Amino acid sequence: MSWKDVLYPFSVWKNILKDPVTIRKPEEREGSSRYRGFHINDLEKCIGCGTCEEICQNAAIDLVPVEGIVAKPGDSGLRPRVDYGRCCWCALCVDICTTNSLGMSNKFRWSVEGENADKAIDREKFGSPDDYLFVIGAENKYWDNSEMGYRKPDNYDLTSPVRVNMDHLSALERQDSFIEMMKGYSKEQAQREADRCVECGICTAACPAHMGIPAYIKAVREDDMEEGLRILYETNPLPEICGRICTHKCETVCSIGNKGEPLSIRWLKRYIADNVPSEKYKEILGTDKIEQNGKKVAIVGSGPSGLSAAHYLAMMGYEVTIFEALPEAGGMMRYGIPEYRLPYDQIDKDVNYILSLGVTLKTNTMVGKEITLEQLKEQYDAVFAGTGLHMGRSTMLENADHKKVLQSIDLLRKIALGEDFYVPEKIVVIGGGNVAMDITRSLARIQRKKYGRVNITATCLEPHGGMLADEEEVVEAREEGATITPAYGPQRIDIVDDENLKGLEVAKCLAIFDKEGRFSPKFDLDDRQFYEADMIVESIGQGADLSYIPKQLNDNIEYSPRRQIVADPDFQVKNQPWLFVGGDIVKGPDVITGISNGHLAAVGIDRYLNKKED
């Protein structure tokens, strides 16, 4: 060793006063603006659909209940919890998130606190690896409100936000006939639409019949119509009908609808039913042979609830007889919904399958007239009544009892029955719900056929955008030549004499309800309009005709303030164990609710009769 070797290390001291060539380690280093750091979740926006859990490639996410968040339509009440022992920070959960509530902050430092945490081996004392398992956004982490970090970029989506349109007849093609307007999906269209579903199942709770929606959409995607049909019939024996005219509450909560247009769940249901021929139903649904149990149930009314109850009772082996006052089965679905929305042959397809299970249908047989309710009670083990709301409500205006002031529901029935009736050149419809649109569009078609032009005005209290009818119904009615004037309320019906009308005077409606939420319309009497009319059609709601229920029995039935019959969860009438009720006289009003309570009543009847036997 030389002196040089000994002294050489000290030579670096010559740099002691120079500037360093390296940069100083920053005290706090920010993650970059799009860094994929710790997760954030807007708990208000999140609906607990679980799509993040589903897509996670490392099974790092669970869905768990969180205090203060409850399940409600459109929100499962669950929220994602992430396990940082498994997360690989791929951000697929953020990209797929149906509400854009999930994101990632640019924060990446998280250490267990405590004395000598860096020496921590003792988990009890210094925290454990389980500290890195946390419900995102619910545990007050320091990064919760971070503005920076990864978010789903705007320019791409893992699921298409745009729904596949269904081909339909243009106004010109449809305005003078009752041919079905919507043409149905092709296979390619249906599969493309089905592909948008993330199978979260949020829709199932919102559907009154709790249909297995994600499963049948999956069947469409996989082109397995038989499986699709089986899933439909588990909860809904009227798929052709519901596939066309269901109020689709499912679509209003569809998680995909949070960022784009909701799935066309209704049209996909229709696609399945449309693509299975009737003659294959029994084979697919395994109903070729049903063992009979020897018990008899009578059903009053062949609307959705009656048909649904009949279907599920027949499946359980009951001998079912339906009593229908009108010439054909279907109730309001046939006699209230125009053919261009729901063709009669499609009603027949659903009804005939139910009848093929051994159900007897007695048409033109009005209970209370041809046969009494007491007789049914005597002759059958149980009775189900789903008689619906077939009486139109009147505006109670002066002259509302004039012979040219009619009820929409009566006219719709006449159209379905093929009866000829007076359709003048000038008509005014009072009402802005779907039934009002149905009668407006139906009468417009008849006017066009008869006179070559349309002169019909529908007027309602609700303002534009707040109308009770579906938006597309209003748009299509206008396309077909009808005039819709929202936010005007009827004031006076002017008549010429007992035979002829002058028209209807309306005034601008300023508010419909008072401060307490009671119906009490306020009008601006300076803003009035007069609509000339040879006929006025009232379409402001319907009531039940329960005159078939004998007085003595009726006195023992409890009614809700909304004049609906009070029944238990099995739809068994209080104090009348032999009598079950369903449909619009109990709940609703709509088809799918009727189907649901018809099903529940069928289960209830079975429970009741089995118990009675024991």
Partner 1 sequence: MERIIENIKKQFPLQDVNSDHGWFITCEKKDVISLLTHLKITGGFTHLILITAVDWIEEDRFQLTYLLNNPQLKIRLGLRTFIERSVWPDESEMQSAHHLWPAVKTYQRELHEMFGIDFPGSPEVNDPLILEYWDDIPPYRRDFDTKKYSEETYFPREGRGSNDPAEYMKSQLYPNEGGKSQDFPQEISKKSSGEKNA
Q: Which is nearer to partner 1, 22 or 155 (CB)?
A: 155
Sketch the per residue contact string, 206 through 245, with partner 1: x for CB under 8 A, - otherwise: ----x-x-xx--x------------x--xx----------
Q: How far is the CB of 71 from partner 1 (least distance, A)?
A: 4
* DSSP codes, 509-550: EEEEE-TTS-EEEEEEEEEEEEEE-SEEEE-S-EE---TTS-
Nearest CA among 289, 459, 300, 474 for reference residue 371: 300
> Which pair of tokens denotes residue 153?
């970029």
| Residue 569 near residue 600, CB atoms below 8 Å | yes
* Segment interacting with partner 1, rule: CB under 8 A, options 18-26, 46-54, 379-387, 447-455: 46-54
Interface residue with partner 1, options 43, 112, 169, 205 (CB under 8 A): 205
Of 56, 96, 285, 359, which one interacts with partner 1 (CB under 8 A)? 56
- Among the listed ranges 55-63, 322-330, 437-445, 455-463, the one in contact with partner 1 (CB under 8 A) is 55-63
Euclidean distance between CA atoms 465 and 455, whole angstroms: 23
Closest CA to 381 of 573, 581, 579: 579
Do 592 and 308 form a contact (C-beta atoms < 8 A)? Answer: no
Which H helix or E strand runs over 314? helix 304-315
Whole-angstrom distance, CA of residue 253 vs CA of residue 206:
7
The residue type of 500 is: N
**What is the size of the binding site for partner 1 (CB under 8 A)?**
47
In which residue are the tokens 């019909």 written?
Answer: 456
Q: Should residue 320 be labelled a site residue for partner 1 when binding is judged by CB under 8 A?
A: no
466 binds partner 1 (CB under 8 A): no
> Position 504: which residue type?
L
64 binds partner 1 (CB under 8 A): yes
Q: Does 202 bind partner 1 (CB under 8 A)?
A: yes
Q: Could you tell me if 329 and 361 are in contact, meaning their C-beta atoms sit under 8 angstroms apart?
A: yes
Q: Which of 366, 391, 512, 603 binds partner 1 (CB under 8 A)?
A: 603
According to CB under 8 A, which one of 63, 320, 493, 533 is a site residue for partner 1?
63
User: Residue from 40, 46, 49, 592 that binds partner 1 (CB under 8 A)?
Assistant: 49
Instruction: Work out the number of other CB atoms within 10 angstroms of the CB of residue 545.
Output: 15
Cα separations (Å) of 311 from 160, 234, 433? 37, 11, 30
Nearer to partner 1 by C-beta: 317 or 463?
317
Distance CA 569, CA 571 (A): 5
574 binds partner 1 (CB under 8 A): no
Question: Least CB distance from residue 460 to partner 1, whole Å?
Answer: 33
Binding flags for partner 1, 70-109, as an x/- string (CB under 8 A): xxxx--xxx----x-xx-----------------------
The distance of closest approach from Cβ of residue 129 to partner 1 in the complex, given in angstroms and rounded to an integer, is 7
- Cβ–Cβ < 8 Å for 534, 518: no
Q: Which residues bind partner 1 (CB under 8 A)?
A: 48-50, 53-54, 56-59, 61-65, 70-73, 76-78, 83, 85-86, 129-130, 133, 199-202, 204-205, 210, 212, 214-215, 218, 231, 234-235, 312, 569, 599-600, 603, 607
